[in-house]
Each structure stands twice: as structure tokens, then as C-alpha cells.
Structure 1
Amino acid sequence: MLSFAILPGLTGLVTINANGSRIPLFSVYVLDANFNQVTAINFTITDGVPVMTKGYTNEAATLWGTRGGHRPLVRPKCGFTGLDCPRPFWEQYGIYVMVGAGLIAILLIVFVILIFYARELQQESKRSLQSGPSTMTADSKLTESNFGEYEICFLENNAVLTKTYPAVGLTDNDKSIFPQMRKLDHDNVNRFIGLSIDGSEYIAIWRMCSRGTLQDLISKGSLWFDPFFMLCIMRDIAEASRQDALHITVIGYSIPTKLDYWLSRSSLFKLLFGLLWLAPEHLRSPETSVKKSKEGDIYSFAIIASEVVTRKAAWNLNERKERIDELLYMLKKGGPAPPRPELNVDGDINVAVLHLIRDCWNERPTDRPNCETLCNMLKTMMPDKKSNLMDHMFNMLEDYTTTLELDVEERTKQLHEEKKKADILLGKMLPRQVADRLKLGQAVEPESFDSVTVFFSDVVKFTQLAAKCTAFQVVNLLNDLYNGFDSIIEEHSVYKVESIGDGYLCVSGLPVRNGSTHIKEIAELSLSFMKFVDEFRIAALPKERVQLRIGLNSGPCVAGVVGLSMPRYCLFGDTVNTSSRMESNGKAGHIHMSKEAHDLLINEYTADYETQSRGEVIIKGKGVMETFWLIGRRAATSARPPSEVYVKQNTDEKSEQRKDDPTVLAELSTSDKTPPSTPSTVSSNTMYKEYLRSNTVEVS
């Protein structure tokens, strides 16, 4: 008997054992690298023992072909949660590295700063001069080359003037001169401080005068530079020359070294001498310049004096065609007409001073005046023998102060006048109370007014009139019309809010409250406007007449300032809108009033004004409203007659109303009343105008 049987089944062959039980067969299928199904493992159970049969020979190619031949790990490298992997070094210790690097960098910076600071202190202890910026400006009238060799430095925190020289050997005789120069202290001589020999070059140190040089004073055109001041400067220079305090000597290659700067008695001025200031005889024979030469000092004085009286550089090298070497050659050569600075003076200089300067730079040294004669002549030329420079300066200060006070007073008056003009102009643009608050920088809060009267007016058929005129004629028309309106407004307690084109917006009762008087003010204003346009004539169109349409309304209103760059005082509220509707639904030559304005006018001023009911009218946005006409003021004989337009429209009021005012849709009442017609006695246009003049009540 067979131990098993193989039978075909629904899904394949089925193996049955001897007991009639099915022997299970399990297979594992995988996809190879080409995604084809391949049997990887077969499981069978024989005698209760499972038997596995591999269906592959190459595990990597068969089982893991889709994974690149790599068998997956039993446990992921970083674990099933991903937390078992070690973190990167920078992620784990990066913050410690950055903090440590920052501390190291700070320590290095502090260390470097300390090194430089210690080195600077060491160098500072070795030197006594620290270079500073030059104070000379490029716009000086004198040549910049005169100052190129000098620098402003600091010695023990004090400004000094220095000049460098080539380092040469100094003998004992040379060194003995420096203490004598240091001891030299004269009002007219700049003080020598010392000579620095610690370096490749020698540095001569002189006292620094912070108030500038004589050249600076000349170039700036000082206030004090008047003839008296010039003579004082020349006198001080002459006194210094007489006292052996002013000399020019040349050592070696004709380079001036003994005195480079001159200071006046008040230590205000210093002047650099160059070869052009040296006497011609010294230029021709440099060896003679070692000795003192009074005649050479007189010549140098003349060159300096020419700068003082002309207020510019002596030789004016910027405008001369000769170069400086050519000019020096001409000076050495001499001759009957040697070159000299020009004496073109602008102020009131004594002619004797100019002649004295010419005598001092005479080509022949023996013909020049000596120091004593020079000083005496300068004293005789002083305008006030008893006055000195300080007294003169004080007098000039007093005069200047007086002039300044007058100028300040005059400018203050002009400022007040301009301020008044600005206030007047601002008052025309904004209410005075509002303008004052805005000028003080205060905020203007909106304000509510319980009762005001708003006025709107419009020129009837203005577009047609403008079409007949040029642009300039339209401007002139509006200007003439508005000038008349503005003059009328100034006579009433009315504020003009704005004018847009041919429209006018006015209000009474704000910003200054006036009780119930505002309705009277607006009524008088309206009647005055009507009278003005009756007599107004257009210059460009003599036959045309200007007609107004006016609307009035009374009620509450809110006013406030709107805008920053161009603030405007604006009105808000239904009272303003209703007043605008009264104007737009009115008629030419008529004053249209709302019931509120009419009741207020009649209740307060019953005997003063005459009104007439227009009836009920449909007003756009308002519905049915009863409105009234303001006829005029009551007089002993008659009220203000209607205008010509009203007479023409009297025959058919309703049809004319719809034609002139499209916003009025219909008249709901047949009780409309018309103003009194033109008197029958008036038979012509001329007579009618005369009637207007005689019966219209003047508005005060």
C-alpha cells in the first residue's frame, strides 16, 4: 500500500499521506534583479519533520538582487529608534569650540593692544613732538609755497610751529647761540622755543600764535583793518627794527633763517619772509648779509608795508607773468626802474604813507630813511597823536555795536512787519483762533455748534459766460467779483469757508458764536450780494449780466481742521448739505431759504425782513420740503424788488424751475407764491434800474 498519494488540486498538486492527511507544502517566492518571480525556498513536512529545500544557489543575486546584493541587517545600525548612533563631533562639542575660540581671540586682541600701547608709550617718552594738522587754508591770497616748510605740532599738549632743516654738525659756537635765542623775549618778535636734534633732520620750534598770521588777517579782510590800524602795524614793525629786534640774515645759499615770523605787540600777527622781501644789495652779495644791515631792514619794512596798505600779497605772484626766479633776477639786476610791488590802495590812505613806502624801498640804500626817521614820520602821520591802538579798537567796537544794534532793530521791525503780513494771510485762510493754536503747535479738536447759518452761492450760467471769454478774462472776472464779495464779507460777522470756481461757501455763528444773530448776518450778506451783482458789469462782456443763485439754511454744524500739508477749516453736517440743496434748487436772482432758516429769521427779526413761501418742493436726498424766498428788508414804502430774471420767469414759474433746476422733479403744491412783480410805473430797463437803486435798502 502506498504511503502517500499525489492528486491534482485547484492550486496545484496535493500530497496525501497514508492516514489521508494532506502533507503541507510551503514555498517562498522572491523577485530577482529583473523583477521576475523566483522560488527561493520550499518547505515540506515528512514524518512530522519540516524539510527546507533551497531554490537558489547565489543568495545575493537571487534573494537580494533588488537591494544591490546586500542582505539587510538583523538590527539597524542606529537601532530601531535611531538614537543609538553617536552624534557628530561638531554637533556635540561645537558650542564649546566657538566659545573657546572667541575667548582666545579676545585675549589675542587685548594682548596686541597692550603691546601697541606699551610701544607707543615708549616712543612717546623718546620724542617730545607729535605732528598735528596744518591750519593753513588753500584759499589764502598769499602763495602756498610761503608756508610749505612749516607745520603745526604739539609739544607737551601745546601747539607750536616747527620747521625742518638738514642735519648738519653743530659747533660749540652754534650751540651757544640757541640759549641766547631762547632768552630773547620781545613784544614784536616770535619766541624761539628750541631745536630738536633727535632724528635724521633738525626741527626748529617756535611759539604758535593761534590767531593767525598777518597774511591771514589781510586775506580775510578783517573789520579792524582801517588806515589807523595799518599805521599802527607799520609803526610796530618800525619800532622792532629800531630796537634791533627785526633783521634778515642769510647763511649759506641765501636762505633766510634768523627770523621767519613777526608778531605785533599784541601777538596777533606773524609774517614769513622770503627772498622777495630781502634787500637787492643782499641778493647781489649774499656774503654781506651776514652782517646786520639797517638799510636792508628798511627795504624789508617797505615790502611788508605795501602788503598792509594794499591788503594783498606784495608781489601778487599769481597774476604776474614772471616766475619767481625771473623776478629775483630782475631785483638783483636793478636799474633805473627796478620791479617793485604795486601800491593800488582802495581805502582812504594818506598819500604821504605811500611816498614813505617808495622812499624805503629805494634802490640806493643810502637814500632810504633810517629807523629813527621812519618811526618819527609814522608818528606824525597818525590821525590822533594821543590815541593808541587799543583805544581805537574800543571805539570801533562801540561804533560796530551801535551799528549792529541799529541793524538788529531794523531787521526786527522788518521781521514784525513780515510776521504781520503772514498772520494776515493766515487769517484769511483759517480762522484766527484756529491759526493761533496751529502756530503754537497745539491740536485743533473738532467743535460742535448748536446753531449756525450756512450760505451757498453760485453764478448762474457761468460756463456760458466763461466760454465767451479768454482764460485771462475769466480770471479777471472772478477776481473782480470775488474782491467785491470779500469786501462785503468783511462788513459782517461772517466767515468765508472757501470758494470753488464760481461757488461761494460762507457761514455765520462759527468759529465765534453770536447767538441767533447769525441768521441776520447771512440775510444781510445775501441781500448785499444781490445788490452788488445788480450793479456789477463784466469788462470783457459789457452787455452780459452776472446773476446769483443763493441758498440758506440754519441748524447745528461741526467744524474742524482737516489735513496736515495744507490744513483747511471744513464744515460737516446735514445743515451744510441742506444749504447746498437750497442753492442748487433755487432760481437766478433769488435767495432760497429752508424752513429752519425762515422760522429763525421771522421769529427773531419779524419786522425787519420780508419773505414769501415758495411752497413744497421735492429736494433731492431730502424729500418734500417747504421752502421760502427772502424778498428783502422791510422799508417804509416797499420791499426790495425782484431782479430782472424773476420778472421774466414770473409768467410760468414751474416750467422755468424745471428748466433751470433739473434736481427739482415736481411741485407738489399749487400754492406757490411769486414775489411782487415789477411796478407798473417802470416802463423801460433804465427806469427799472433806477427803481432798484432808489428802493433797495442799503445793508449796513
Structure 2
Amino acid sequence: MIQTHSSFFSSRSKLEESDERSSITLATHAACFQTIGVYRGTQVHIRKPKIKSVSVDRKLLLELKQMHYITSPNLTRLIGLCTEVDSICILTEHCSRGNLQDILHNESIQLDWDFRISLITDIVEGMNYLHASPIHTHGRLTSTKCVIDSRFVLKITGFGLDSLNKVHRNTDVTDNIYTTLPELVWMAPEHLRVYPPRKCSQPGDVYSFAIILYEMCTRNEPYVNEPWYISLDDTLQKIKHGRSRFVRPTLNESDSFPDIVNLTKCCWLEMPEDRPTFHSIRRVIRAIKMKRNINPTENVLDVLLNRMEQYANNLEGLVEDRTQAFLEEKKKSEELLYQVLPKSVADQLRAGKSVIPESYSCVTIYFSDIVGFTEIAAKSSRFRKVVDFLNGVYSCFDTIIENYDVYKVETIGDAYMVVSGLPERNGNDHVRQISRMALDIVHSVRQFTIRHQPCTPLKTRIGIHSGPVCAGVVGMKMPRFCLFGDTVNTASRMESSGEAMKIHISEQTKLLLEQDNNFITAERGTITVKGKGLMTTFWLIDEISHQMDIVLL
């Protein structure tokens, strides 16, 4: 490990390397991927050049010495260089809050202009120091090279060690000093026009800074929102050949802070000699801060506290919004869960308890289906019409059952199953609840109109039976509350052996209704029921109180 402190050569210390996502605290979902390692108990950022070996010569040692003497708070500190063959890597200070591009593209973070100017000031201070240092230029400046440390201070990284960049460049003539093709957007036009691109220059850094200012103003990627944008390659070609009419991103004063817009346009002028230096840009930024009543000589601690307050306000608002969204989604999930499972059963599952199967001495089960559903579906020109038809019918049924103490077990195709008396026991009221519900459904079906077949009357067939059942939750992935027992089968046979627009009930249900003495029934007679043999069954005609209401009306 070649180090930048004490002496350049020392024994290679243990370097623990791991890939982690460096998250931005104030934007819980914004993150950038970095290669992070631990060197002497401190987290460091690891950059791996695309080279297999490096020659430790006088020039490289001089560059390391120059990097060692960098003391600007707005430039990242070089930790050291690992020169092991096939494991060449550069260790720099790790900034845990991510990079500027992450923050600008995260819409959940609100950035006022005072805060943006503060970030711009950090960039200008860092670049001004760098241009005055022996390193002289950056050459690779982009918004991803502007990183935020744990104290919310913006620092510039990726500068220096030009000999490594030259080695990298010479290994493949198609490569350049920028690591990826999209980063060429930040490169000055005069450098793009040379193949392979020239090393760097101070006016070129100013141009790169102008593209970052565009991002600060619009919070958009450069060029992608232009009406003429086709691809990155096409854009780079336009920039290269735009000598007479140079190509730049569209930036309007009305959409951004006017002083920053004017500064941006000066920094990306076509002729390098026309662009301002960072020393003069520093004076412009100080004037802008005074114009906005921002003290240009403000104490560093005050600046830090202001930034932390800004971040805290953003985080507080973000947490409040996310909490509200979470509560709304939780409410929707609970409502959906209560529709799939009975409330008492759902609450037990949510509490992490197992639902023990129970037996019920007597409940009433309702089955119904649509008569002639196959013919209706066959006459429908589109399958969507069939789905809309079923949705309309069962939405009508669902509205009705909300008025009764019943639980909808399931719908399968055109079959509809409802039960009363479980999971909450209600004495013998279950037979009255199901009977009244069935009468209401028959009445609603008579008034229902099939939209795509208005001349076809809707008919339903209903069967009801009362008796003992067992019930429990079945399944883990999609748990269902299921009923078991002969009562379920008998109720299904009552429906299948019934007639259209009639409510077919068993003798057991009839005996329970007689206790109420409020329903009108008619004996159907003895019939053969599949799987049950001979059974005496009845028709449920109406409710006496319901008839009296009609007479009074």
C-alpha cells in the first residue's frame, strides 16, 4: 500500500472490501452505489482503474505528494494507493451521503435557492483551491464527482493522479479520462473534438461546472429534455460540430434564479478564453450571496447548522408524508383483508395467532347461481362484457348483504355462497338473516338489466339449508376461511335442484323459520336429491311483515 502520510512506502495493511449502498439520510430512497472498504478501522472509498499494474516512478510519487498536501475542506482526501498486480485501487475519503446527482434527481428533497447556492459555493471553493494548487486542473468534473460527507459538506473527488489516467488511456484508445460514455456530456467541446480527448484544462473545468449549474437549476439530466434529443451519441456529435452555432441545454431565466442562469451561460461559452476563471466565479457567487442577504463570511459552524436544519426539515416533511401514505395503505390492506376473511379471524392472524378450527351446532348456508349463464356468455361478443356483467351482478349482491349479519364465503364463476351464524354465533337469528337476504336478492334480480343484452331477463336460482358445520382457515400463501360438513353439500343440492327465481329451502330450515312464525313457505313435496336420496323440501315465498309494508304503501 502506498500511503500519502508519514512515508510513502509501508507494509500493506489489511483492506476489507465490500459493496454497500451508500444511502442519503435525508432522502430515504435516494442512494448511490459505491465500493466501500475498511482501512485501519475507517471506511474508505475504493476506485479501481482499468489497469493491471502500475510503475511506481518519480512522477507518480510526486503526484501522490501533491495529493497529500491537499487541505481544502471541499476536496476529498487521498488515503493511499494499492499497487498490487491485478488489484490496483485508489483509496479516498468516503462521503456517506451520496453524490450531488442523487440529491438533484430525488424529487422528495426540496431544495430552496439558498441551499443550492450553498452547494454551488462549495464547488467553487473546491475548484478555486484546486486550480491554484500544483495539481492545476480536475479534468473529470461531473455532478457524480461532487459528493456529500456525513457533515453535509459538498466535496469534489476524482482529481489528480494524472499518470494513472494516462496509463488507463493508453491501454485502450477508445477509452478517455471519463469513466463512462454519459460523462462525456460534461466534457468541454474543444476536448471532445480531439481524438482521443486531450487531458484537461482549466477552461474545460469551467465548462463542466456550467453543466452542473444547469443541473442545479433544472434538477434534470443535461439535454435529455430537449425536443431535438435522439440519443447520447447524436448529442455528442452535435456538440462537437457546433462551432458556428454551439449546442447547449435550454435554460430560461424565468424557470430558475436569473443570476445563476447568467453565470451558467458565461461558463459554457464556446471559446475557452471567454469563460471566466473560478477566481472570478468566486467573486460572482459572493455578490449573489450578498444580494440574497446571505453573509459571505458566515461562520462555518453556522453554515453547517443551517444545512442540517434544511436537511432535518426535508426529512421531517418526508417522514410525515411517508407515514401518512403508510397509514392509508395499511387501512386499505385491512379493509381488503376483512373482505377476504372474517374480522375476528383476520385479527387473530394479524396478531400472529393460529386460528383453531371450530364446530358450529347450527348455521344457515345460502347458495345461488345465474340461470342460463352459459347462454348469456355465448351470446356476448367480448369476454370483457361477461366479466362486467358478473361484476355488476355481484356488486349488487354485495351491497345487499352488507345490511345483514352474514359472511360472504366466496364466488366461483356464477356461484355465490353466503353463511350466517359464524364465525360470530347469533343464536337462531342466522335463518332469519339468510331468508330476508335471499328475498331481497330475488327482488333486486327482477329489477336488474343486463347492459349488453337488455332484452334478456336475469334469473337466479337459490338454495338454503341449515345444520352443523366445521370452519377453519386453510392455506398459508392465500388463506381462505372454509366450511366443511354435510350441511354445505346439502345447501348446494338445494340450489342445483331448485327452480329459477325461487328460493328452495330444506325441511330443517323450514322448521327453524316456523319458530319465528313470520315467513310464508309452501311445500314443494318429496323429491330425489343427488347424494341425499328422498327429501321433503319447501319454497320460501315471502315475509309477512314485508307483505304488510307493501299493503300500507
TM-score, with structure 1 as normaliser:
0.48
Name the residue aligned to 2:508: 596
1:428 aligns with 2:300: no
Amino acid at match of 2:338: G
SS in 1 for 2:93: coil
| Bigger relative contact order (CA 8 A; separation at least 6) | 2
1:129 aligns with 2:17: no
SS in 1 for 2:192: coil
* Mapped partners of 1:599, 1:339: distance in 2: 95
* Mapped partners of 2:306, 2:124: distance in 1: 20
Amino acid at match of 2:520: E
In the TM superposition, what whole-angstrom CA distance separates every residue of 1:626-677 from its partner, at most 9, and x where no partner exists? 22221111159x689xxxxxxxxxxxxxxxxxxxxxxxxxxxxxxxxxxxxx
1:210 aligns with 2:93: yes
Amino acid at match of 1:455: Y
Name the residue aligned to 1:522: 434
1:272 aligns with 2:160: yes
In the TM superposition, what whole-angstrom CA distance separates every residue of 1:199-250 from its partner, at most 9, and x where no partner exists? xxxxxxx9x852469xx96777789983334335545776899xxx94579x
Amino acid at match of 1:421: K
Name the residue aligned to 1:631: 541
Q: 1:192 to 1:615 in 2, by over 3 A?
A: closer
Q: Would the aligned equivalents of 2:495 and 2:504 in 1 still touch at CA under 8 Å?
A: yes
> 1:341 deviation in Å?
5.0
> 1:448 deviation in Å?
0.7
Q: 1:354 to 1:587 in 2, by over 3 A?
A: closer
Amino acid at match of 2:394: Y
Name the residue aligned to 2:391: 479
* Mapped partners of 1:153, 1:447: distance in 2: 58
* Mapped partners of 1:626, 1:370: distance in 2: 100
Q: 1:459 to 1:374 in 2, by over 3 A?
A: closer
Q: Would the aligned equivalents of 2:523 and 2:539 in 1 still touch at CA under 8 Å?
A: yes
RMSD: 5.3
> 1:155 deviation in Å?
9.2
2:527 to 610, 613, 617: 617
Q: Would the aligned equivalents of 1:353 and 1:381 in 2 still touch at CA under 8 Å?
A: no
SS in 1 for 2:535: strand
> 1:517 deviation in Å?
0.7
Q: Would the aligned equivalents of 2:420 and 2:433 in 1 still touch at CA under 8 Å?
A: yes
1:419 to 330, 334, 337: 330
> 1:512 deviation in Å?
1.2
Gaps of 5+ in 2: 1-8, 20-36, 47-53, 81-89, 137-148, 164-182, 218-256
Name the residue aligned to 1:79: none
> 1:518 deviation in Å?
0.4
Q: 1:380 to 1:512 in 2, by over 3 A?
A: same
Name the residue aligned to 1:22: none
Q: 1:390 to 1:464 in 2, by over 3 A?
A: same
Name the residue aligned to 1:576: 488
Amino acid at match of 2:498: G
Q: 1:520 to 1:316 in 2, by over 3 A?
A: same
Alignment of 1:119-198 (within 5 A): 128-130=10-12, 166=57
* Mapped partners of 1:459, 1:191: distance in 2: 74
1:392 aligns with 2:282: no
> 1:436 deviation in Å?
2.7
Amino acid at match of 1:562: V
1:402 aligns with 2:285: no
Amino acid at match of 1:228: S
SS in 2 for 1:589: coil
Name the residue aligned to 2:455: 543
Identity, in percent, stands at 32
* Mapped partners of 1:315, 1:239: distance in 2: 20
Q: 1:182 to 1:587 in 2, by over 3 A?
A: closer
Name the residue aligned to 2:374: 463
Q: 1:210 to 1:533 in 2, by over 3 A?
A: same
Q: Would the aligned equivalents of 2:204 and 2:272 in 1 still touch at CA under 8 Å?
A: no
Q: 1:574 to 1:321 in 2, by over 3 A?
A: same
Name the residue aligned to 1:228: 118
In the TM superposition, what whole-angstrom CA distance separates every residue of 1:340-387 from its partner, at most 9, and x where no partner exists? 85344313454786799899x9979xxx9998x998776555432252
Name the residue aligned to 2:470: 558
* Mapped partners of 1:501, 1:247: distance in 2: 79
> 1:431 deviation in Å?
1.5
* Mapped partners of 2:372, 2:43: distance in 1: 86
Amino acid at match of 2:334: D
> 1:551 deviation in Å?
1.6
Q: Would the aligned equivalents of 2:360 and 2:422 in 1 still touch at CA under 8 Å?
A: yes
Q: 1:273 to 1:378 in 2, by over 3 A?
A: farther
1:499 aligns with 2:371: no
In the TM superposition, what whole-angstrom CA distance separates every residue of 1:258-278 from its partner, at most 9, and x where no partner exists? xxxxxx999955642869xxx
* Mapped partners of 1:622, 1:191: distance in 2: 85
Q: Would the aligned equivalents of 1:129 and 1:153 in 2 still touch at CA under 8 Å?
A: no
> 1:569 deviation in Å?
1.6
Q: 1:561 to 1:327 in 2, by over 3 A?
A: closer
> 1:510 deviation in Å?
0.7
Q: Would the aligned equivalents of 1:219 and 1:312 in 2 still touch at CA under 8 Å?
A: no
SS in 2 for 1:514: coil
Name the residue aligned to 1:322: 194
> 1:156 deviation in Å?
12
Name the residue aligned to 2:400: 488
> 1:128 deviation in Å?
2.6
Amino acid at match of 2:10: S
Gaps of 5+ in 1: 1-126, 138-151, 169-173, 196-205, 250-263, 276-310, 332-337, 641-693
Alignment of 1:99-110 (within 5 A): none
Q: 1:622 to 1:318 in 2, by over 3 A?
A: farther
In the TM superposition, what whole-angstrom CA distance separates every residue of 1:181-209 from its partner, at most 9, and x where no partner exists? 9998966799999x9xxxxxxxxxx9x85
Q: 1:318 to 1:551 in 2, by over 3 A?
A: farther
2:423 to 501, 508, 511: 511
Alignment of 1:431-450 (within 5 A): 431-450=342-361
> 1:594 deviation in Å?
1.5
Q: 1:391 to 1:575 in 2, by over 3 A?
A: same
Q: Would the aligned equivalents of 1:188 and 1:240 in 2 still touch at CA under 8 Å?
A: no
Q: Would the aligned equivalents of 2:74 and 2:126 in 1 still touch at CA under 8 Å?
A: no
Q: 1:420 to 1:218 in 2, by over 3 A?
A: closer
Amino acid at match of 1:624: L
* Mapped partners of 1:318, 1:560: distance in 2: 76
* Mapped partners of 1:397, 1:314: distance in 2: 29
After TM superposition, the structure 1 stretch with the greater mean CA deviation from structure 2, 447-456 or 401-410, is 401-410
* Mapped partners of 1:389, 1:133: distance in 2: 34
SS in 2 for 1:130: coil
Rg: which structure is higher?
A: 1
Name the residue aligned to 2:169: none
SS in 1 for 2:298: coil
The alignment of Structure 1 onto Structure 2 pairs a total of residues equal to: 414
SS in 1 for 2:476: coil
SS in 1 for 2:118: helix
TM-score, with structure 2 as normaliser:
0.59
> 1:459 deviation in Å?
2.3
Q: 1:406 to 1:535 in 2, by over 3 A?
A: same
Name the residue aligned to 1:99: none
Q: 1:233 to 1:547 in 2, by over 3 A?
A: closer
Q: Would the aligned equivalents of 1:534 and 1:546 in 2 still touch at CA under 8 Å?
A: yes
Q: Would the aligned equivalents of 1:526 and 1:591 in 2 still touch at CA under 8 Å?
A: yes
Q: Would the aligned equivalents of 2:77 and 2:92 in 1 still touch at CA under 8 Å?
A: no
Name the residue aligned to 1:661: none
Q: 1:446 to 1:355 in 2, by over 3 A?
A: closer
